[in-house]
Amino acid sequence: MPSETLPAWRAALRATPTLLRVGVAETVAYRVEFVIWMMTTTLPLIMLGLWTSVAAEAPFAQFGQREFVAYYIAVLIVRNLTGSWVVWQINEEIRRGLLSFRLLRPVHPFVTYAASHLASVPMRSVIAIPFAVILLISSAREILVTDPVMLLVLAASLLGAWLITFFILLMIGAVGLFVDKSVAVFEVYMGFFAVLSGYLVPPALMPGWVASIAKWTPFPSMLGFPVQLAIGSYHRRLDALGDLAIQWGWVVLVIVAALAVWRAGIRRYEAFGS
């Protein structure tokens, strides 16, 4: 049989278009749930409430009202494009034994997870992003990035942010193969993410010690970096490219780590599952 002799990566490549189509169909089928999931990422707007009220009295550091609006709407967009709920999905599949079916397929589970979540990105873009982008352009046109090189860097950084976020979440999901409480692990992760990535507070306004901790973690690469690119905080291309290199370094590291945790976890899962 020719399909059995195909190397793993060719099989994955051949299956991808079908997997993506299935993913789109799933997203469309559960559209109401999907919209609700998207609406739960409103925390940036709540933060924006606080900060615009602060900036209405006088600019805060170098941030005026316009900068805050641009920053948090960009956060909302990047978060909507890069976030996913794969941790809950993996937990549910482990609990109900559905993971076994996924493992039977001839492609790596990471590929099937990634396909179904990537497929939901266009749908998200259709619903939320146009509003946000119009809002962003109308309220802060002058500060948005326009340099074509920087726009390319922005596109690459969005892909990088998606990859880091997705593989960290896969890794946390895989922790569920060892312990029951992987959702608790996720909450700890969210706590660090919220503060260190720039989700709650723009990196430029972080106290020095928070910023110096953040520098050694992948969190700024997941949110703060693309957002700052979009709202034109980078004035020199070289700085942006340097941070892009750091981001993609994290991409490689996170993928390797996620694969390792997954492999160890699956060995355990098979050991007592069968």
* Residues binding another protein (CB under 8 A): 30, 32-33, 36-37, 39-43, 46-47, 49-54, 57, 60-61, 181, 184, 187-188, 191, 194-195, 200-201, 205-207, 210
CB of 40 vs another protein, minimal distance in Å: 4
CB of 202 vs another protein, minimal distance in Å: 10
CB of 41 vs another protein, minimal distance in Å: 7
Indicate the residue among 198 and 265 with the shorter CB distance to another protein: 198
Indicate the residue among 144 and 213 with the shorter CB distance to another protein: 213
Indicate the residue among 35 and 151 with the shorter CB distance to another protein: 35
Residues 182 and 172: their CA atoms lie apart, in Å, by 6
Alpha carbon dihedral 86, 91, 96, 99, in 10-degree steps, equals 60
CB of 6 vs another protein, minimal distance in Å: 39
Indicate the residue among 181 and 263 with the shorter CB distance to another protein: 181
Indicate the residue among 152 and 184 with the shorter CB distance to another protein: 184
Kindly tell me the sign of the dihedral angle through the C-alpha atoms of 176, 187, 124, 145: negative
Residues 85 and 120: their CA atoms lie apart, in Å, by 11
Indicate the residue among 18 and 62 with the shorter CB distance to another protein: 62
CB of 243 vs another protein, minimal distance in Å: 23
CB of 143 vs another protein, minimal distance in Å: 22
CB of 94 vs another protein, minimal distance in Å: 19
Indicate the residue among 55 and 150 with the shorter CB distance to another protein: 55
